[in-house]
Amino acid sequence: MPFGDLTKWEAACVTGRRSTVGRCYNIVDPLHVEPVCAETRKKISKAHRGRKHNAEWRENAAASHRGKKRSAETCANISASKRGKKLSAEHRANISKAQRGKKASPQARSNMSKAQLGKKRSAEARANMSAGQLKRAPHSAETRKKISAGQIGRKPSAETRAKIAAAKLGKKRPDVSARQLGKERSTETLANMFIAQKRRRARERAAKEGVPHVEI
């Protein structure tokens, strides 16, 4: 008989004994779990602090949770418990170090994209994200090349272009002339800018004349 069934059988026996005789010598009900107090939780947390699991343990733990789907209620509870918590600089650095060099699979990227689709962030959240990006160190030359290579050949849909145009409507561009003054660009950069400008003018001309545009 499985252990779980034995536990239920014991609980049924205890309940039946108490209802008929009125007494039972079990110390506690088999299904009763005492809540852990805050002090005990702190002791458990302190005892486990600094412990590092080996690769095999981590793989087994990951495998046991793989494929499991949390209910909407569970996700909401987890979100509520984490809301307002601020991670220390050391904690954030450790997370960054652990994630560095990892590449998400196409399936994982697709799942993350679907999870974010349709989500609308509040003005406060957008402001926080913007402020966080401003504090980041500028990308290295290698990173900029990777970002550029990833964007080559990508064409936004008509709907995306319409949304971008609507978002920028009425906005005044900041004066970047002072920021760009005295900045030296390489021959390659100037050539790329010239090609991009030429393509943009060709697109505008084709749109104005109502003829299909073929990207060169």
In percent, the amount of the chain with pLDDT more than 90 equals 0
Q: What is the DSSP string of 77-143?
A: HHHHHHTT----HHHHHHHHHHHTT----HHHHHHHHHHHTT----HHHHHHHHHHHHHSPPPPHHH
pLDDT in tens, 62-84: 888 888 888 889 988 998 888 88
pLDDT in tens, 159-211: 888 888 888 887 776 665 655 666 777 888 888 888 888 888 888 888 888 77
Task: Write down the pTM of the prediction.
Answer: 0.35
- What pLDDT, on a 0 to 100 scale, did the predictor assign at position 29? 58
The number of residues in the chain equals 216
How is residue 36 annotated by DSSP? Answer: P
Phi, psi of 136 (to 5 degrees): -70, 150
Across 54-65, average pLDDT: 88
- What pLDDT, on a 0 to 100 scale, did the predictor assign at position 1? 45
Residues in Cβ contact with 1 at an 8 Å cutoff, skipping those fewer than 6 apart: 9
> CA-CA distance, 103 to 107, in Å (whole number)?
11
